[in-house]
Structure 1
């Protein structure tokens, strides 16, 4: 049998939290802005996505993942792109 002890963790382990996400199966357009979207429509969409995230059982690991990988797009764990950039600018990881 092959020695797999040095292989990276299984992808399924890394993404397991997504199985429990409140947004699973929802229209991704709510969480990712379409080209050319402007306020006030953008603000309403972000607020609706954040409302869904607020009740999500995996909000924290989702937000932490997006911060860790510097995810440039979308609402993750209730945070917008701008909120993640602001968090990163404060020197937090």
Structure 2
């Protein structure tokens, strides 16, 4: 069986590295990750406070929506808040 070989182009590498570069600039990368993934019923207040001042909040939320992230605080929104946002967009 022959497998098709896909060579990665420079544009694809640039696109992928740009997509992930926002994560390096995120405030949560410098914070305790447990705050962003609280136990069920746990407070999200501290994580959302960090998100409020983050320069990549929009990119983070877009990533979570595009990749259907189901857990944690992303872009300042909880899973429930992201679901509501998606429903309103439809």
Query: Shorter-normalised TM-score: what interval?
Result: 0.7 to 0.9
1:77 aligns with 2:81: no
Post-superposition offset of 1:82: 0.4
TM-score (norm 1): 0.76
d(CA) in 1 for partners of 2:24, 2:37: 19
Greater relative contact order, per chain length (Cα 8 Å cut-off, separation 6+): 1
TM-score (norm 2): 0.78
Equivalent positions of 1:5-84 (< 5 A) are: 5=9, 8-10=12-14, 11-34=16-39, 37-38=40-41, 42=42, 45-84=43-82
d(CA) in 1 for partners of 2:48, 2:10: 39
Gaps of 5+ in 2: 1-6
Count of matched residue positions in the alignment of Structure 1 and Structure 2 = 83
Query: Which position in structure 1 is the counterpart of 2:4?
Result: none
d(CA) in 1 for partners of 2:19, 2:26: 14
Greater fraction of residues in helix: 2
Q: For the aligned residues, what is the CA RMSD?
A: 2.1
